[in-house]
């Protein structure tokens, strides 16, 4: 196993962090553009949300098939297939200027993104020692947030200055360069054992993971957490470009710098795990996130920014703990388990957008708070149920 601090550990963690960074740059590129695209295509906020939702929905659906495939052909090969496809799909978007075709291309992008997202954590679990994995998972999630920040700001600022197609072209070029670096750095797996011709086995493991209450509750928590987090940002984008603020799209996209609070909190989970249980941390993160939604009610830019930072800090803290909980509690077929978590995660993000944007259209941020509070209530009920499950990771820490 690869140990913490070794040269191979640094190669693996940097390569996977870079791959994660590229995936999330591409996933969130269009989120700050949504107000611009709504005006460009002359459609409503909920209609234009399909540009974002198409990629997240298809990503969610494709996660498990990619994970199952990786059990046969290997994690590294699956990750590289997805990464190499991304820049070419991005270039394909430049051939069209209709909303329907753009939604279709974004759906294809979701298919490519799913390949990396579905198996990267399983690669780490299988190749890294327990101590190295506990440190690496925080860096991996931090790369998610940095990728989300970069993709959104790049998309918003370039669209404001040059239009949406130059923004997509720039992202495709940067992605291609990054993919070449990942392919060079990421070593072949040494501890992977292929399981061929076992489709029935994989179907059975999916059912077993879903029947494992400890894992399934964490998956539901991940979905609700992401439904709130990512879509509170989407609503804030529409809020800032509307009166009385009327900010340009490029300037409004700077709100995604608030994601840096999530980058910090995801790294802090390794410290939390040494002293407290994961369910307690998920509850703490969710409380902080909900507080941010309430603070953002004040219609001043400083309070809105503070609210978004609290939302980011809490949501990423909860997500990192829930994600690691699933990967560690799965006793077998870990790629399938983590993929199932992400299925819930991205379906939550996709459906939550239509719900919270609808609330925004019919009552402003006050209505968003009312709708969001219902989701938070469900989230806290699930967190309580998770606290009733024995925390195996705490026992492992005590024994080590």
Tokens 């009312």 sit at which residue?
A: 370
Q: How far apart are the first and last CA of the chain?
A: 17
Write the CB contacts of 266 (distance below 8 Å, at least 6 apart in sequence). Answer: 138, 141, 142, 144, 145, 316, 317, 319, 320
Is residue 226 within 8 Å of residue 352, measured between CB atoms? Answer: yes
Token digits of residue 144:
């998610």
Is residue 377 left, alpha or beta, with left meaning phi > 0 and alpha meaning psi from -120 to 50?
alpha
Query: Would you state the pLDDT for residue 234?
Result: 93
Q: What is the mean pLDDT of the chain?
A: 89
Query: Would you state the pLDDT for residue 64?
Result: 82
Is residue 182 within 8 Å of residue 18, measured between CB atoms? Answer: yes
Report domain extents, the chain.
Answer: 7-188+196-399
Query: Would you state the pLDDT for residue 398?
Result: 39
Query: Would you state the pLDDT for residue 198?
Result: 55
Query: Would you state the pLDDT for residue 382?
Result: 95
1.10.10.10, 3.40.50.300, 1.20.1250.20, 1.10.3720.10: CATH of 7-188+196-399: 1.20.1250.20
Write the CB contacts of 188 (distance below 8 Å, at least 6 apart in sequence). Answer: 74, 76
What CA–CA distance (Å, rounded) separates 269 from 134?
A: 9
* Under-70 pLDDT residues of the chain: 194-202, 335, 390-400
Query: Would you state the pLDDT for residue 135?
Result: 84
Query: Would you state the pLDDT for residue 327?
Result: 78
Query: Would you state the pLDDT for residue 393?
Result: 45
Half-sphere exposure in the Cβ direction for 31 (13 Å, CA): 33
Query: Would you state the pLDDT for residue 329?
Result: 80
- Over residues 273-294, the pLDDT tens digits come to 888 888 899 999 999 999 999 9
């Amino acid at each position: 196993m690869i140990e913490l601090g070794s040269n191979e550990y640094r190669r693996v963690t940097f390569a996977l962090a870079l791959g994660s960074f590229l995936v999330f740059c591409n996933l969130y590129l269009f989120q700050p553009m949504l107000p611009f695209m709504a005006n460009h295509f002359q459609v409503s906020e909920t209609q234009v949300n399909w540009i974002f939702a198409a990629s997240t929905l298809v990503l969610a659906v494709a996660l498990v098939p990619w994970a199952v495939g990786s059990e046969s052909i290997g994690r590294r090969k699956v990750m590289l297939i997805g990464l190499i496809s991304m820049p070419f799909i991005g270039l394909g978007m430049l051939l069209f200027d209709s909303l329907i075709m753009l939604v279709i291309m974004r759906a294809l992008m979701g298919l490519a993104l799913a390949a990396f997202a579905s198996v990267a954590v399983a690669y780490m679990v299988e190749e890294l020692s327990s101590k190295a994995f506990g440190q690496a998972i925080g860096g991996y999630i931090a790369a998610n947030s940095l990728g989300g920040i970069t993709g959104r700001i790049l998309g918003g600022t370039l669209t404001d200055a040059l239009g949406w197609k130059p923004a997509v072209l720039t992202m495709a070029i940067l992605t291609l360069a990054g993919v070449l670096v990942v392919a060079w750095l990421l070593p072949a797996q040494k501890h992977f054992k292929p399981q061929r011709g076992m489709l029935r086995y994989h179907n059975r493991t999916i059912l077993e993971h879903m029947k494992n209450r400890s894992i399934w509750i964490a998956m539901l928590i991940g979905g609700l957490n992401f439904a709130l987090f990512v879509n509170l940002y989407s609503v804030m984008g529409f809020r800032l470009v509307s009166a009385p603020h009327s900010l340009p799209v490029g300037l409004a996209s700077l709100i995604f710098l608030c994601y840096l609070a999530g980058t910090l909190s995801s790294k802090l989970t390794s410290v939390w795990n040494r002293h407290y249980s994961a369910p307690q941390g998920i509850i703490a993160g969710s409380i902080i996130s909900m507080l941010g939604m309430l603070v953002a009610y004040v219609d001043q830019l400083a309070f809105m920014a503070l609210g978004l930072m609290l939302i980011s800090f809490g949501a990423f803290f909860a997500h990192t703990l829930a994600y690691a909980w699933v990967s560690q509690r799965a006793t077998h077929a870990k790629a399938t388990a983590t993929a199932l978590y992400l299925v819930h995660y991205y379906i939550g993000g996709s459906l939550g957008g239509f719900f919270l944007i609808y609330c925004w259209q019919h009552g402003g941020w006050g209505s968003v708070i009312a709708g969001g509070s219902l989701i938070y209530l469900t989230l806290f009920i699930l967190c309580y149920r998770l606290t009733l499950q024995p925390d195996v990771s705490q026992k492992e820490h005590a024994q080590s």
